[in-house]
Structure 1
Amino acid sequence: MKKNVGFLALALTLLVSACTYQKNNRIDQKDVNEGNDYVYGHPDSTARQRKVQYTPDSENEVRAMEIQEKLYPNPDTTSLK
Protein backbone atom coordinates (compact mmCIF):
# COMPACT_ATOMS: atom_id res chain seq x y z
CA MET A 1 0.00 0.00 0.00
CA LYS A 2 2.88 2.40 0.79
CA LYS A 3 4.36 1.81 -2.69
CA ASN A 4 1.08 2.79 -4.31
CA VAL A 5 0.80 5.98 -2.26
CA GLY A 6 4.41 6.90 -3.00
CA PHE A 7 3.96 6.23 -6.71
CA LEU A 8 0.73 8.22 -6.76
CA ALA A 9 2.41 11.17 -5.00
CA LEU A 10 5.32 11.08 -7.45
CA ALA A 11 2.99 10.89 -10.45
CA LEU A 12 0.91 13.78 -9.13
CA THR A 13 4.03 15.89 -8.55
CA LEU A 14 5.28 15.25 -12.09
CA LEU A 15 1.88 16.01 -13.56
CA VAL A 16 1.54 19.32 -11.73
CA SER A 17 5.08 20.42 -12.59
CA ALA A 18 4.60 19.52 -16.26
CA CYS A 19 1.64 21.88 -16.55
CA THR A 20 3.72 24.94 -15.70
CA TYR A 21 6.91 23.89 -17.50
CA GLN A 22 6.55 26.23 -20.49
CA LYS A 23 5.92 29.29 -18.31
CA ASN A 24 9.52 29.18 -17.15
CA ASN A 25 11.04 28.00 -20.43
CA ARG A 26 11.16 31.34 -22.22
CA ILE A 27 13.07 34.59 -22.23
CA ASP A 28 11.35 37.95 -22.27
CA GLN A 29 13.12 40.15 -24.79
CA LYS A 30 12.63 43.74 -25.85
CA ASP A 31 11.12 44.09 -29.33
CA VAL A 32 13.60 46.22 -31.24
CA ASN A 33 11.01 46.93 -33.97
CA GLU A 34 8.27 48.07 -31.60
CA GLY A 35 6.40 51.00 -33.09
CA ASN A 36 8.12 50.65 -36.47
CA ASP A 37 5.52 51.38 -39.17
CA TYR A 38 7.66 49.69 -41.81
CA VAL A 39 7.56 46.35 -39.99
CA TYR A 40 4.20 46.33 -38.22
CA GLY A 41 2.31 48.94 -40.18
CA HIS A 42 0.14 51.73 -38.90
CA PRO A 43 -2.95 50.82 -36.85
CA ASP A 44 -5.09 51.98 -39.81
CA SER A 45 -3.13 50.16 -42.54
CA THR A 46 -0.89 47.17 -43.26
CA ALA A 47 2.87 47.19 -43.09
CA ARG A 48 4.63 48.97 -45.94
CA GLN A 49 6.96 46.08 -46.67
CA ARG A 50 4.01 43.92 -47.71
CA LYS A 51 3.26 46.27 -50.58
CA VAL A 52 6.53 45.45 -52.34
CA GLN A 53 5.87 43.25 -55.36
CA TYR A 54 8.73 41.53 -57.17
CA THR A 55 8.62 40.69 -60.84
CA PRO A 56 8.63 36.93 -61.35
CA ASP A 57 11.79 35.45 -62.79
CA SER A 58 10.79 32.94 -65.46
CA GLU A 59 14.14 31.17 -65.21
CA ASN A 60 13.53 30.35 -61.54
CA GLU A 61 9.96 29.26 -62.23
CA VAL A 62 11.11 26.82 -64.91
CA ARG A 63 13.72 25.38 -62.57
CA ALA A 64 11.18 25.05 -59.76
CA MET A 65 8.74 23.23 -62.05
CA GLU A 66 11.50 20.82 -63.15
CA ILE A 67 12.32 20.03 -59.53
CA GLN A 68 8.64 19.62 -58.67
CA GLU A 69 8.10 17.23 -61.59
CA LYS A 70 11.14 15.21 -60.55
CA LEU A 71 10.06 14.96 -56.91
CA TYR A 72 6.32 14.57 -57.50
CA PRO A 73 5.72 12.99 -60.90
CA ASN A 74 2.25 13.23 -62.36
CA PRO A 75 0.53 9.86 -61.74
CA ASP A 76 -1.24 10.09 -65.13
CA THR A 77 2.03 10.15 -67.08
CA THR A 78 3.95 7.55 -65.07
CA SER A 79 3.22 3.93 -65.63
CA LEU A 80 2.84 1.78 -62.55
CA LYS A 81 4.02 -1.75 -63.14
Structure 2
Amino acid sequence: MRKLRVLLVAVVAVSLASCNYQKTNRIEQKDVRKGDQWVYGVSPDSAARQLKNKYTANPDLEVKANKIREILYGKTGA
Protein backbone atom coordinates (compact mmCIF):
# COMPACT_ATOMS: atom_id res chain seq x y z
CA MET A 1 0.00 0.00 0.00
CA ARG A 2 2.85 2.37 0.82
CA LYS A 3 4.50 1.69 -2.57
CA LEU A 4 1.25 2.49 -4.32
CA ARG A 5 0.96 5.80 -2.48
CA VAL A 6 4.56 6.75 -3.32
CA LEU A 7 3.97 5.81 -6.98
CA LEU A 8 0.78 7.89 -7.07
CA VAL A 9 2.57 10.92 -5.61
CA ALA A 10 5.39 10.50 -8.15
CA VAL A 11 2.95 10.30 -11.07
CA VAL A 12 1.09 13.40 -9.91
CA ALA A 13 4.36 15.33 -9.46
CA VAL A 14 5.62 14.37 -12.92
CA SER A 15 2.31 15.22 -14.58
CA LEU A 16 2.21 18.64 -12.90
CA ALA A 17 5.82 19.34 -13.84
CA SER A 18 5.18 18.42 -17.47
CA CYS A 19 2.49 21.09 -17.89
CA ASN A 20 5.12 23.81 -18.40
CA TYR A 21 7.67 21.63 -20.17
CA GLN A 22 7.55 23.16 -23.67
CA LYS A 23 6.60 26.73 -22.79
CA THR A 24 10.19 27.91 -22.41
CA ASN A 25 11.80 25.43 -24.78
CA ARG A 26 11.65 27.78 -27.77
CA ILE A 27 13.97 30.16 -29.52
CA GLU A 28 12.94 33.20 -31.49
CA GLN A 29 14.71 33.36 -34.84
CA LYS A 30 14.93 36.10 -37.43
CA ASP A 31 13.04 35.23 -40.62
CA VAL A 32 15.55 35.73 -43.42
CA ARG A 33 12.81 35.37 -46.06
CA LYS A 34 10.44 37.92 -44.53
CA GLY A 35 8.61 39.84 -47.25
CA ASP A 36 9.78 37.46 -49.99
CA GLN A 37 6.91 37.10 -52.48
CA TRP A 38 8.35 33.83 -53.78
CA VAL A 39 7.88 32.20 -50.37
CA TYR A 40 4.99 34.10 -48.77
CA GLY A 41 3.13 35.63 -51.71
CA VAL A 42 1.98 39.20 -52.14
CA SER A 43 -0.02 39.31 -48.92
CA PRO A 44 -0.51 36.97 -45.94
CA ASP A 45 -3.78 35.71 -47.47
CA SER A 46 -2.39 34.96 -50.93
CA ALA A 47 -0.62 31.85 -52.18
CA ALA A 48 3.12 31.84 -52.67
CA ARG A 49 4.45 32.39 -56.17
CA GLN A 50 6.32 29.10 -56.10
CA LEU A 51 3.01 27.22 -55.82
CA LYS A 52 2.05 28.36 -59.31
CA ASN A 53 4.59 25.98 -60.87
CA LYS A 54 2.87 23.09 -62.64
CA TYR A 55 4.70 19.94 -63.62
CA THR A 56 3.67 17.37 -66.21
CA ALA A 57 2.90 13.93 -64.87
CA ASN A 58 5.49 11.24 -65.53
CA PRO A 59 3.94 7.73 -65.55
CA ASP A 60 7.37 6.13 -65.09
CA LEU A 61 7.64 7.71 -61.66
CA GLU A 62 4.37 6.09 -60.59
CA VAL A 63 5.71 2.66 -61.56
CA LYS A 64 8.93 3.34 -59.66
CA ALA A 65 6.99 4.52 -56.59
CA ASN A 66 4.88 1.36 -56.62
CA LYS A 67 8.01 -0.81 -56.78
CA ILE A 68 9.42 1.01 -53.77
CA ARG A 69 6.12 0.52 -51.89
CA GLU A 70 6.28 -3.22 -52.63
CA ILE A 71 9.80 -3.41 -51.29
CA LEU A 72 8.95 -1.47 -48.13
CA TYR A 73 5.50 -2.83 -47.32
CA GLY A 74 5.20 -6.04 -49.35
CA LYS A 75 2.48 -6.87 -51.80
CA THR A 76 -0.98 -5.89 -50.63
CA GLY A 77 -3.98 -7.44 -52.25
CA ALA A 78 -7.54 -6.37 -51.81
What range is the shorter-chain TM-score in? 0.5 to 0.7
Deviation track 1:17-74 (CA, whole Å, cap 9, x = no partner) reads 4222211111111111111111011125311000111122222111112333553422
User: Sequence identity of aligned pairs in percent?
Assistant: 41
Map 1:36-47 onto structure 2 (within 5 A): 36-43=36-43, 45-47=46-48
Point out where structure 1 has 5 or more consecutive residues left out of the alignment. 76-81
Paired with 1:11 and 1:74, the residues of 2 have a C-alpha distance of: 45
Q: Tell me the TM-score normalized by structure 2.
A: 0.62
Any unmatched runs of 5+ in structure 2?
A: none
2:76 is paired with a residue whose SS is: coil
Using the size of structure 1 for normalisation, the TM-score is 0.61
- Give the superposed CA RMSD: 2.7
Q: Which has the larger radius of gyration?
A: 1
Give the aligned length.
69
Choose the corresponding residue for 2:77, options 53, 74, 80: 74
